Structure 1
Amino acid sequence: MAILFQKETNIFHLQTKNTAYQMKVAEYGVLLHNYYGQKLGEGDLSYLIMRADRGFSGNPYEAGADRTFSLDSLPLEYPCFGIGDYRTDCIQVIHEDGSNAIDFRYKSHEIQNGKYSLEGLPTMHWENGEGETLVINMEDAATGIKLKLYYGVLYEKDVITRAAEIINSKGNIIINRGLSLCLDFANERMDMIHFYGKHAMEREFERTPLHHGKHSIGSTRGTSSHQHNPFVILCTKDATEDYGDCYGISFLYSGSFLAEAEVDQIGQTRFVMGIQPDTFTWRLEEEESLFLPETALIYSHEGFSGLSLRLHDAIRENIIRGEWKHKRRPVLINNWEATYFDFDGDKLLAIAKDAKDLGIEMLVLDDGWFGKRDNDISGLGDWYVNEKKLKGSLKDLSQRVHEMGLKFGLWFEPEMVSEDSDLYRMHPDWTIKIPGRNPNRSRFQLVLDFSREEVYQTIRDMVFGILDEVPLEYIKWDMNRSITNLYSTALPAERQGELSHRYILNLYRFLEELTARYPHILLEGCSGGGGRFDAGMLYYCPQIWCSDNTDAIERLKIQYGTSFGYPIGSVGSHVSASPNHQTGRKTPWETRGTVAMSGSFGYELDLNKLTTEEKAVIKGQVREYHSYYNLIHEGDYYRLTSPYEDTRATAWQFVSKDKREGLFFAVVTGLQANPAPVIMKLKGLTAKAIYEVEGLRHTGEMLMLGGILLPVPTEEYQSYRYSIKMISN
């Protein structure tokens, strides 16, 4: 049983295969958080909670003379604002009388088989036999406002999910802070690992010791953003790749978010996560409710590797859906870095012909095929085909590509509009901008107000009209600017704070309609590369373009950081030209292939400009990738070195679930004269089994405890790809 309630002690036990999560209904209906960590028995761990009379930490009225019962120091499951807990909280509400306190107390609970759902929002999903749901019903006695706390327990994968629903009982209230999760830790001075960045350099690893006060990351950009990712790790100070306690927290949401940790006056650590309060308010009228998005939690006492392995499996099986969940994805060529806007139908067909000859399986037509779109300052929003540029219809182009034996894919940016477009000239009020102020420009494009039904329907009809007519197997859904100047002409003044969340809800609605109507189409998410790389988008898109930066050496850090919270098969990664278009760096063909093979593989260059020798390299890479596909997309992934700490080489490894085969990849990042040896210790093998690597045979424990010796490199940025095969066990 994954969820157990002990009535005699008022203890909730949530148990997975390797972890336990415990809560207690304490005096006066206060819901305490007792424990989250390695699996243990069903005893009451509330004895570890220290109660003391602390000056300036008040007490609930019901506590009477008991000064040791204070909400300001107890570990709480869902802390509220304005009732004596001065730490960071999860919810703030403004009532009709202007007061802003809310005090949710336990009323009842339900234990259900299977998984709860959240209307209009992505969630993890599982069958009835795989896990259970706990719903805890809370209520504010003074107003009758209700709160449902949802807990999902996915037993085998060690996942616990959290979400919430606020239900108004009477009158009108305004929610101006509604977070999904709180985790309280007693006397834990922890580190917080987050993944910061910028456009073209996303998800860089940073580990920060938590200190007294608040440490927060997040986004106010309307997307999960390039700058901070909605996945964080809390860990003990001794945690490493292979050892120590760590907690992975992933927010299944693609809009603005907040992740905040606070060490309080007595050294306790509180972590909260949810929708960014700076850009959010929500008006709830009588009997209305609001779902708050889901967070997914995974604990590991086996370090970051143990955490990532569990999370990768959970995302692959229990977030990603649809036909392409496990279906082999085609190797593609995208024309963007080959042509940018300078192409016509003949140029595209020439690229397609070369692609077919090289074993590439799909041509993707990127930006510039629609409206008046010969640069990035016009045309967005005019989703009709530029037949003059293509020298024919898009349907004809697709058919000719298919006749060559290739699949066909298409780029869209449905959420945007150019000021120089027919759509904007007809409907300037359909954009997000503040009346009386000049809008903030980015790429000379504005953001369409997707919260408006007429905007949603118009763009939907244009996009679906193309998809109904043109045979294709792939869509790249892009979004190339942050959102600001928040204002909707369709919302009254008191509801303007709802715009950001309404936008995301309609984005999800569009993606849900699209994937249901065209289940055969592989949908790749994108926001200038990795600006919306989050678990919420993976619910609709089984892969996401990882970064607009295709430089193989820069990608080592980008893909390293991404791998902590997301499976490698979800990473869109392509071989591009050398010198690289973003950095000017020169790297060998083999190295570009090595890095791009750790993801959903493809090419981003002009095949017509390659030599015979270079085309032979591509043929070999495509064949090799096909032979590795199942390992990369379905196997276990291990980080062997850090590109931030190991200056000579970055290495990683894949191992099949049955441990019978694997792959070792490494890229040399630092050359030395008279070099010292570089030894890499492998992971995830069967200790006593015999494996063959590069013609040599060793036991698994020799490869894991001793390692392999890398050859001395002969050129800058040289790479190595080794197959690992079990010979006997």
Structure 2
Amino acid sequence: MKIEFDAEQKIFHLQSKNTSYVMQVIRDGYLTHLYWGKRIHTYRQSNPLRFIDRGFSPNPDPDDRTFSLDTIPQEYPAYGNGDFRMPAYQVQLGNGSTVTDFRYKEHRIYEGKPALEGLPATYVEHNDEAKTLEIIVEDSVTGLTATLMYTVFRDFDAITRSVRFHNQGTEPIKLLRALSASVDFRDHEYDLLTLYGAHINERNIARRPIVPGLQGVDSRRGASSAQQNPFFALLRKGSDEHQGEVFAFSLVYSGNFHAQVEVDQFLTTRASIGLNPFDFSWLLAPGEQFQTPEAVMVYSSQGINDMSLTYNRLYRTRLSRGKFRDQVRPILINNWEATYFDFNADKIEQIAKQGQELGIELFVLDDGWFGKRDDDKSSLGDWVVDRHKLPNGLDDLARRVRNMGMEFGLWFEPEMISEDSNLYRAHPDWCLHVPNRPATLGRNQLILDLSRKEVCDYIIEAVSSVLSSAPISYVKWDMNRHMTEIGSAALPPERQRETAHRYMLGLYRVMEEIISRFPDILFESCSGGGGRFDPGMLYYMPQTWTSDNTDAVSRLKIQYGTSLVYPVSSMGAHVSTVPNHQVHRVTSLDIRGHVAMSGNFGYELDLTKLTEEEKKTVKEQVKLYKEIRPLIQFGDFYRILSPFEGNETAWAFVSQDQAEAVLCYFKVLSQPAEPVRILKCRGLNPDFLYQHLDTGEVFGGDELMNAGLTIPELKGDFTSLLLRFKKVGEA
């Protein structure tokens, strides 16, 4: 890990263990991009820029037609002074013009990594874990500067980037576009990989060749969304899970984002990611600053799975925070699909008692415990206990559960408000809205305006009051609709397009305050399931409810796609009843258990209705998961067979020291004349001997990875195996 600056050549060379990133200041201060890829010891300009007279590409120097911003790879490009490609930023000046010209001014290199004010970001615990480069570029006409921040890590092949704008002029400036990272590649031989979906169908994998023109993904929904995840990767042709080059971009942000790839007329590629410029602007008065979210860029020379290992390890250990970052997560029972809104204290106690007898560690009371919440039409915002359902309050119920030896958890949806609520009747202007327009409802609810300090303060105090009232050790933080009528009664007209981003800053402030007040509570984020499964949320809450779809077969794709970026320790996964409530499929308790055990394990059904045989199976599943839980939650995850490519899925969990492994195999439909499946493991040590704990057989790690393991015949649809291996020696 190092950052070097060659003062004579004006070249910056950033290095991690396996990655190099090279920039150069040329001509009169233009910052250009030269290389990003596999680590090189010393950059000696083997691939210098070529300057060619391109005819219709404009030239800042009238005496040199070979130099044009339209044809050179740039680090943080503008629009309006010669480059016709999509810019990384754009501003509007007081005279209405949008032209700026950033030139290199100065830089500094230092150990460690700074926090981003008001925003989530990766971090280091000791300064020797990372080095940071700050390059300040300046527009001399307006006094606007941008600090381009780059951090390289000692232990991860990742580079983080963000930008801080500072209006050091005398006139207001309006930001119209402020992306976090832009990289210009000198060719176009790539496929674009993205994660798309919908509610109960999150993070499917899309891969397609890039073509001349624009392509990309974004969210305009006020949340990172289930529809598109704030991530994309460029893959060299022929790259797959375990070989080939991958250049990946992930945005540490939970709101509207923009990720775009442009192939220009000369078949070069510009990749960029950051805040969505759609319906966005930000007024910078003289002296004010604006900080963009952080982009995390990962390079892999060994395929997609190696990229995932970097993201998984980095996000688990240097994005997630708090006491639960390194603690195993409890096995829980959630009452939502068991009771929905129809419950009382006695019913809850019955389910919890049954859970305790089966070895489950945490009971979570979901929606319906507050206000007059008998359906989804009322009471959001009124965070007071419904004494009709819980006559003795939360404290009594929580203590009854804890007296059984279980922990107690609670569901909230703090960002929302119902029209039928005391809060709305008292403060109808506290929701997002625009004048003279009717409000659009989603799930019968509106969204509180978190761009307003008084609204944030109310949420902090209301939630804190509940959390202080009872022994609560877990919170599920939900958010069940996206933004419409995005406006704030507290902002002037010229700042209305700041509302969505100010909302996110308010939300992050609320979360930071609450998790700081209650460090012993495990928080899980949720947004209609996985509608806000993004790095920004993991900074505040170390796990996320992966999807409202609990069907085991559907979850194969959902969890497989999620694993491209996010660690297993962040994925909530539950066993639910059959027929499944979302897709009405009937699957065995075995496959439901094996899929859910591939994440943070729990149940979401009425345990009191299980047969004795089912209770026995659940008890065995709980016992097994407790044995393998550290490996599942904190081991390395390897994808082997993709549910997007066939009838079978397989993945493996391998401990950091490679001494233990769990191999999971799933078959969806039974096929006639099925071939014998030989499964090749991943991630083992080729020099270790491993014992198959179910059969006692011993195999070499090299044999399991190269010759493979013959899977026994499985009869019927929706079948699965979970195989355990443990090191018993060395070859």
**TM-score > 0.5 by shorter chain:** yes
- C-alpha distance in 2 between matches for 1:632 and 1:387: 40
What is residue 107 of structure 1 aligned with on the other side?
105
- C-alpha distance in 2 between matches for 1:637 and 1:655: 7
1:690 paired with 2:705, answer no
What is residue 77 of structure 1 aligned with on the other side?
75
What amino acid is aligned across from residue 455 of structure 1 in structure 2? V
1:544 paired with 2:544, answer yes
What is residue 716 of structure 2 aligned with on the other side?
715
What is residue 726 of structure 1 aligned with on the other side?
727
User: Structure 2 stretches of 5 or more lacking a match?
Assistant: none
Is the CA contact 1:256–1:279 (under 8 Å) kept in the aligned structure 2?
Answer: no
Using the TM superposition, give the Cα deviation of residue 34 of structure 1 relative to its aligned residue in structure 2, in angstroms: 0.5
1:231 paired with 2:231, answer yes
Is the CA contact 2:681–2:708 (under 8 Å) kept in the aligned structure 1?
Answer: yes
What is residue 178 of structure 1 aligned with on the other side?
178
Is the CA contact 1:262–1:270 (under 8 Å) kept in the aligned structure 2?
Answer: yes
Deviates more, 1:673-682 or 1:263-272: 673-682
1:701 paired with 2:699, answer no
What is residue 145 of structure 1 aligned with on the other side?
144
Is the CA contact 1:333–1:362 (under 8 Å) kept in the aligned structure 2?
Answer: yes
What amino acid is aligned across from residue 476 of structure 1 in structure 2? K
Q: Tell me, what secondary structure is at the counterpart of 1:277?
A: coil
Using the TM superposition, give the Cα deviation of residue 597 of structure 1 relative to its aligned residue in structure 2, in angstroms: 0.6
Q: Tell me, what secondary structure is at the counterpart of 2:633?
A: helix
Is the CA contact 1:24–1:46 (under 8 Å) kept in the aligned structure 2?
Answer: no
What amino acid is aligned across from residue 153 of structure 1 in structure 2? V
Superimposed CA distance per residue, residues 290-321 of structure 1 (whole angstroms, 9 cap, x where no aligned partner): 00000111101000111111111111111011
- C-alpha distance in 1 between matches for 2:510 and 2:535: 17
Superimposed CA distance per residue, residues 156-184 of structure 1 (whole angstroms, 9 cap, x where no aligned partner): 21111000000012211111111110011
- C-alpha distance in 2 between matches for 1:86 and 1:670: 52
What is residue 658 of structure 2 aligned with on the other side?
659
What is residue 135 of structure 2 aligned with on the other side?
136
Equivalent residue runs for 1:440-589 within 5 Å = 440-589=440-589
Is the CA contact 1:116–1:150 (under 8 Å) kept in the aligned structure 2?
Answer: no
Which segments of structure 1 move beyond 6 Å, counting only runs of 4 or more? none
Equivalent residue runs for 1:14-93 within 5 Å = 14-45=14-45, 47-60=47-60, 63-93=61-91
1:164 paired with 2:163, answer yes
Is the CA contact 2:3–2:109 (under 8 Å) kept in the aligned structure 1?
Answer: yes
What is residue 189 of structure 2 aligned with on the other side?
189
- C-alpha distance in 1 between matches for 2:409 and 2:425: 29
- C-alpha distance in 1 between matches for 2:623 and 2:487: 51
What is residue 307 of structure 1 aligned with on the other side?
307
What is residue 386 of structure 1 aligned with on the other side?
386
Is the CA contact 2:226–2:532 (under 8 Å) kept in the aligned structure 1?
Answer: yes
What amino acid is aligned across from residue 117 of structure 1 in structure 2? A
Q: Tell me, what secondary structure is at the counterpart of 1:387?
A: coil
Q: Tell me, what secondary structure is at the counterpart of 1:250?
A: strand
- C-alpha distance in 1 between matches for 2:197 and 2:47: 42
What amino acid is aligned across from residue 105 of structure 2 in structure 1? K
Using the TM superposition, give the Cα deviation of residue 726 of structure 1 relative to its aligned residue in structure 2, in angstroms: 1.7
How many residue pairs get matched? Answer: 726
Q: Tell me, what secondary structure is at the counterpart of 2:353?
A: helix
What amino acid is aligned across from residue 724 of structure 1 in structure 2? F
- C-alpha distance in 1 between matches for 2:605 and 2:55: 67
Is the CA contact 2:188–2:210 (under 8 Å) kept in the aligned structure 1?
Answer: no
Residue from 114, 117, 120 that aligns with 1:116: 114
What amino acid is aligned across from residue 711 of structure 1 in structure 2? P
What amino acid is aligned across from residue 563 of structure 1 in structure 2? S
Is the CA contact 2:669–2:716 (under 8 Å) kept in the aligned structure 1?
Answer: no
- C-alpha distance in 2 between matches for 1:210 and 1:26: 29
- C-alpha distance in 1 between matches for 2:571 and 2:179: 28
Equivalent residue runs for 1:252-331 within 5 Å = 252-331=252-331
Using the TM superposition, give the Cα deviation of residue 189 of structure 1 relative to its aligned residue in structure 2, in angstroms: 2.1
Using the TM superposition, give the Cα deviation of residue 391 of structure 1 relative to its aligned residue in structure 2, in angstroms: 2.5
- C-alpha distance in 2 between matches for 1:478 and 1:609: 27
What amino acid is aligned across from residue 499 of structure 1 in structure 2? T
Is the CA contact 2:34–2:73 (under 8 Å) kept in the aligned structure 1?
Answer: yes
- C-alpha distance in 1 between matches for 2:696 and 2:203: 37
What is residue 617 of structure 1 aligned with on the other side?
617
Q: Tell me, what secondary structure is at the counterpart of 2:641?
A: coil
User: Structure 1 stretches of 5 or more lacking a match?
Assistant: none
Using the TM superposition, give the Cα deviation of residue 425 of structure 1 relative to its aligned residue in structure 2, in angstroms: 1.4
Is the CA contact 1:569–1:598 (under 8 Å) kept in the aligned structure 2?
Answer: no
Superimposed CA distance per residue, residues 3-26 of structure 1 (whole angstroms, 9 cap, x where no aligned partner): 111111100010001110000011
Using the TM superposition, give the Cα deviation of residue 582 of structure 1 relative to its aligned residue in structure 2, in angstroms: 0.4
Is the CA contact 1:434–1:487 (under 8 Å) kept in the aligned structure 2?
Answer: yes
Equivalent residue runs for 1:569-648 within 5 Å = 569-647=569-647
Using the TM superposition, give the Cα deviation of residue 46 of structure 1 relative to its aligned residue in structure 2, in angstroms: 7.0
- C-alpha distance in 2 between matches for 1:444 and 1:517: 31
- C-alpha distance in 2 between matches for 1:317 and 1:674: 46
- C-alpha distance in 2 between matches for 1:419 and 1:45: 64
- C-alpha distance in 1 between matches for 2:646 and 2:665: 12
**Identity fraction in percent:** 48
What is residue 243 of structure 1 aligned with on the other side?
243
Distance 1:728 1:675, change over 3 A: same
What is residue 213 of structure 1 aligned with on the other side?
213
- C-alpha distance in 1 between matches for 2:379 and 2:129: 48
- C-alpha distance in 2 between matches for 1:95 and 1:464: 43
Q: Tell me, what secondary structure is at the counterpart of 1:490?
A: coil
Deviates more, 1:682-691 or 1:8-17: 682-691
